[in-house]
Amino acid sequence: MAVKIRLKRLGKIRSPHYRIVVMDSRTKRDGRAIEEIGLYQPKNDPSVIKIDSERAQYWLGVGAQPTEAVVTILKRSGDWQKFTGETSESGIAPQPEKADKVARFNAALAEADDAPASGAISTGKKKAAESDAAAAADEA
């Protein structure tokens, strides 16, 4: 059985996400995989690449053949250099940290002199009625 390491496509029409999988070369592109060893999300800036290095080294060691696209991804993660002994550069750009929305809201509220023009967080009618009932019970 010829085993390949290749990309399995997921996602919407113009928003592809890929899983790096080990599968028989005769199966469909999105068919059943033997094992999933990583992720590749090219639309993020910078691209997200996560590979289980130990499993990738195992499958390369037992003779699984990576496709050209997977070789490029493995070179960026450094796994290809470990396998072949090359000394070329590798490196994946780190993902930027997500902004803390609550902190940004509090900063904007402080700039507006703690006087919001409208409620920032709306509560549903049920919760508003419950809070009014609780406030009335506290007053009594």
Q: Can you tell me the mean pLDDT for 20-43?
A: 90
The reported pLDDT for the residue numbered 45 is 81
The whole-model pTM stands at: 0.64
The reported pLDDT for the residue numbered 66 is 93
Beta bridge partners of residue 7, listed in sequence order? 20
Per-residue pLDDT reduced to its tens digit, 79-103 = 888 888 877 777 777 777 777 888 8
Q: Which of 61-75, 89-103, 110-124 has the lowest mean pLDDT?
A: 110-124
Q: Burial code of 112-138, b = ≥16 C-beta within 10 A, e = fewer? A: eeeeeeeeeeeeeeeeeeeeeeeeeee
Highest mean pLDDT out of 51-60, 77-86, 99-108, 125-134: 51-60
